[in-house]
Amino acid sequence: MYFRTLIVAVMPALVCNGPGIAADTPENIQIADGPFKSNWESLKQYRCPEWFRDAKFGIWAHWGPQAVPRCGDWYARKMYEENSKDYKHHVATYGHPSKFGYKDILPLWKAEKWEPDKLMVLYKKAGARYFVSQAVHCDNFDLWDSKFHKWNAVKMGPGRDVVGTWKKAAAGQGLRFGVSEHVGYSRCWFQTSHGADKTGPLAGVPYDGADPKYKDLYHPVSSQNGCAYSKDADWHREWLARMKDLADQYQPDLFYTDGGVPFGEVGLSLVAHLYNSSLKNHNGKPEVVYTCKDMHYTGGEYVNGTCVQDVERGMLPEISPLPWQTDTSNGDWYFDENDKYRGAGTILPQLVDIVSKNGNLLLNVIQYPDGSLPQESAQLLDDLAAWFAVNGEAIHATRPWGIFGEGPTKVAGGHFKESFAYTSKDIRFTRSKDGKVLYALALGWPADGKLLIGALAAAGGKVDSVEMLGSKAQLEWRQVESGLEITMPANKPCEHVFAFKIQGPVLKAATE
């Protein structure tokens, strides 16, 4: 087979005794045959499936043992950084990391109040049309019944197949299911565990990551340290074995990589496997979505297809010709007892801006370590549910209009550039798939009760009807040279963002 030859050539150490890999893995890593090959040119055949373009909003459980210390993201790395906030917390709470390391945090994650079926009902009511389970973070702990890694949630901690349980709950609500992997970075990211204090009574005493007994969790020592992809071929082989196991066991509708496609042809072979497997399982049409942070460029432009761009805690400034996704959270990525939570008042305008530009929003909803929801997360879900009950038709199964919107707020593009300072003069547009309905969504309620939509000026085409979603009031509106003037009704039908359903020849004034 072409792909088996490729893998052996790229990873000559693909034999039985690598860290964490069962004896039968190496020469049995077979990539599904099909038209997709492990190169960008071949992957240009890919087209994003319709379900993802229709879904628009997903909820993510970025949740695992790093929530236990209640200190937020990257605890497994930062607890080994001497004098950092997390290091000080760890020493005060659990003891010195030479004696009580991250391996000892893992059994403390019990997920004893986790009720996935009940949570999934809330997620669906809140407007989600797909759900994503974190499968493995940079802490190198698999949340599924991993064939090739003993450090997993079935063998320790909750004693449960977290990924599989989430998938069953999502299926029960008719939601598409995805998984996220962040472990490509782990080989370098976790090198802090091999260090030692430079000062103090335990200066020079190695942290527990330096103990060879635990190298399958903490990795062998490496000169590479930080958030980067390792150059180690053994690690590439292990990553591929585990990710293929994850994909084959759960057949996800979405597979998220936290970063660019890892490790060159090795990572591309996984993408090809996902696409070819999905093609065989869906009558010749791939239904799976692979998202990554770095898109492939040719001649300064995105390659059409290949994968779906994911923008972490960021936005795009204009309509993208290709579907894309923002991933963000209502707080830190893991529970932090000092967190500042975001509510529907910031998340809904962001969602509408993203959808107007051909994107989806994947929202992490913070959970306590035990699996239950903080009050702030529960309130957010209630608020989202109330809003989607009124305005869902302006979001789900829509497409971009000719322009994304108008107003004073300019959004910067790129990772970690979220924008929340929208005004009542900021309008965003979506349209029905059949092109017969235009939705204009005001990102605030005008103080004077008058809304002007400049893009719908009389010269641009005639408006036949205007109604406000959720309101039974007879709207007063008129189309003039400066735009469409709407008098807001006396009562708000919802909070935060307000949608108008517009029909008429004006829809032909701009095309997709």
Structural domains in the chain? 34-312 (3.20.20.80), 399-509 (2.60.40.1180)
Of 434, 491, 409, 21, nearest in space to 234 by CA: 21
Number of H helices, E strands in the chain: 14, 19
Element (DSSP H or E) covering residue 177? strand 176-181
**Separation between Cα atoms, residue 431 and residue 504, nearest integer Å:** 12
Q: What are the average pLDDT values for consecutive 10-residue runs of the chain, which has 512 residues?
A: 34 33 50 93 92 98 98 98 97 98 98 98 98 98 97 98 98 98 97 97 98 97 90 95 97 96 94 96 94 65 74 92 95 96 96 97 98 98 98 98 94 78 94 96 96 92 95 95 96 96 81 42
**Separation between Cα atoms, residue 209 and residue 393, nearest integer Å:** 52
SS3 at position 190 = helix
Residue 55 tokens, joined: 């879904």
CA angle 12, 15, 21 (to 5 degrees): 125
Q: What is the pLDDT of residue 29?
A: 77
**Separation between Cα atoms, residue 116 and residue 165, nearest integer Å:** 7
C-alpha dist (Å) from residue 310 to 361, 363, 426, 478: 10, 12, 24, 40
Q: What is the pLDDT of residue 30?
A: 86
Asked whether 207 and 116 are in contact (CB, 8 A), the reply is no
Of 267, 287, 269, 257, nearest in space to 183 by CA: 257
Confidence (pTM): 0.93
List, in order, residues 6 or more apart from 181 with CB less than 8 Å away. Answer: 135, 136, 243, 246, 255, 256, 257, 258
Of 127, 312, 136, 318, nearest in space to 217 by CA: 136
**Separation between Cα atoms, residue 50 and residue 64, nearest integer Å:** 31
